[in-house]
């Protein structure tokens, strides 16, 4: 299991915000497509509008 610290920003009609969380994956983050999947997952889980979440940084944890 690979752990990552993910930070992101999101926009809404009434403003914007920032968030972060620890992500556990079976595979390493390899390319932009992995990042896009994570963004879409955040949007779905937190009921954000499609295209409103941007991953700003990720760090592989020990």
Domain-wise residue ranges, the chain: 2-61
Mean pLDDT in residue range 49-59: 97
The closest alpha carbon to 2, from 59, 41, 45, belongs to: 59
The closest alpha carbon to 49, from 13, 19, 24, 4, belongs to: 13
Is the CATH code 1.10.10 the one for domain 2-61?
Answer: no
Residue with tokens 């760090």, as numbered in its chain: 59
Q: What is the pLDDT of residue 16?
A: 96
The closest alpha carbon to 19, from 59, 57, 60, belongs to: 57
Whole-model pTM: value is 0.89
Mean per-residue pLDDT of the chain: 97
Q: Are 4 and 55 in contact (CB under 8 A)?
A: no
The closest alpha carbon to 60, from 34, 22, 33, 8, belongs to: 22
pLDDT band at 32 (very low <50, low <70, confident <90, very high): very high
């Amino acid at each position: 299991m690979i752990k990552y610290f993910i930070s992101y920003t999101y926009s809404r009609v009434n403003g914007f915000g920032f968030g972060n969380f620890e992500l556990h994956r079976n595979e390493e983050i390899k390319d932009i497509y992995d990042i896009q999947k994570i963004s879409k997952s955040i949007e779905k889980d937190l009921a954000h509008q499609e295209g409103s979440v941007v991953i700003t940084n990720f760090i592989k944890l020990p």
